[in-house]
Structure 1
Amino acid sequence: MTTLDNRPNTALLVVDVQQGVVEEAHERDAVVANIAGLVDKARRDRIPVVWVRHSDAQLVKGSEEWEIVPELTPGIGEPVIEKNYGDSFEDTILETVLSGLGVGRLVIVGAESDACIRSTLHGAFVRGYDATLVGDAHTTGDQTAWGAPPPAQVIAHTNLYWTYQTAPGRTAGTVDAAHVDFGRTL
């Protein structure tokens, strides 16, 4: 139900599943396994998989920490979007890539729940995309030393928060990996 004209397709957007981002993330292995399963399913269903990779002063482009985790490998021809801001659309070619693929609905997975995932969800939604968060395929590190809730609570809150997002002409929601249907909206 996207507000974007002539954009009937869905894409899986894999955000910042990089070694330095998820190295110590909450339930890292389970989340990466869920993402890997969704990547496989998207490929089988001929759904575009679009990868996003962050870099900044702490996550230096070209470093080992900057690399996508070894369990996940972008396929030949799958776009890898380089970004420097939380919102994967901000100052990147993501919109151009998605437009070229006719994508109006995104299924979003990755890290970190309370930063780049939330920013990208909102970025997609305000740009007219339908945006589905996969509740058991995103994670975050422990930021309690800086006053944040424990990671499990951050993830649960992000899932709850996104479940109830509404806006004219767009759909949002949260679904578990086992229930992702790339062929329909929520």
Structure 2
Amino acid sequence: MTTLENRPNTALLVVDVQNGVVAGAHERDAVVANVGSLVERARRDGVPVVWVQHHSEELARGSDDWRIVPELTPGDAEPLVEKTYGDSFEDTTLEPVLSGLGVGRLVVVGAQTDACIRSTLHGALVRGYDATLVSDAHTTEDLSAWGAPPPDQVIAHTNLYWTHQTAPGRTAGTVETKAVEFGGTS
């Protein structure tokens, strides 16, 4: 149902699953395992896996914190998009990469729920993509010392509101890892 023409394909978008981003994240190991199982399933089903990697002062290119977690290894032929803003589309090569793959539907996983995941989901929807959030494959750190709710509540709230997100001609929603259906590529 994407509003993007000639974009029948689905991609798994893995956002910022980097050492420095998920080191202190809520249920880190379970989330990384779920992301890993989705990466394997996407590869098996012939669905593109697109990796997004943030860099900043705190996540300097080439540093250990900047690297993708050791449990996950991007494939040599899988696109890796570098970003400096929360929205993975903003000032990056993500749109041309997805266009080249004929992708109009994204299955989104990664970190941080309350920053880059939310920004990327909204960025996708306003750009015409269908965007599905995998409810048990995204996470965030505990920012309650700065007034945020505890991470389990941040995750639950994001899952709740994305389940009911709508836009003309586009679909959104959430699904658990075990229920993800990629639909393959055409």
Aligned to 2:127: 127
Separation (CA, whole Å) in 1 of partners of 2:60 and 2:149: 27
Deviations 1:22-43 (A, max 9, x none): 0010000000000000000000
CA distance, structure 1, for counterparts of residue 21 and residue 78 of structure 2? 21
In the TM superposition, 1:39-58 aligns within 5 A as 39-58=39-58
Between stretches 149-158 and 56-65, larger displacement belongs to 56-65
Deviation at 1:58, TM superposition (A): 1.2
Q: Distance in 1 between matches of 2:63 and 2:40?
A: 26
Distance between the aligned counterparts of 2:93 and 2:183, measured in 1? 25
Name the CA distance, whole Å, in 2 between partners of 1:124 and 1:107.
11
Deviation at 1:61, TM superposition (A): 1.2
In structure 2, distance between residues paired with 1:101 and 1:144: 40
Number of positions where the alignment pairs a residue of Structure 1 with one of Structure 2: 184
Matched letter for residue 55 of structure 2:
S
Q: Which residue of 2 aligns with 1:177?
A: 177
Per the TM alignment, residue 57 of structure 1 is displaced from its structure 2 partner at its CA by 1.2
RMSD: 0.7
Which residue of structure 1 aligns with residue 89 of structure 2?
89
What do the CA deviations read for 1:88-140 (whole angstroms, capped 9, x no partner)? 00000000000000000000000000000000000000000000000000000
String of CA shifts for 1:62-102, please: whole Å, max 9, x gaps.
Answer: 10000000000001110000000000000000000000000
Structure 1 residues 25-174: aligned runs within 5 Å:
25-174=25-174
TM-score normalised to structure 1 length: 0.98
Quote how far apart the aligned CAs of 1:46 are. Answer: 0.2
One-letter code of the match for 1:158? T
TM-superposed deviation, 1:165: 0.3
Matches within 5 A, 1:9-28: 9-28=9-28
Structure 1 segments of 4 or more deviating over 6 A?
A: none
Structure 2: runs of 5+ lacking an equivalent: none
TM-score by length of 2: 0.98
Identity %: 76
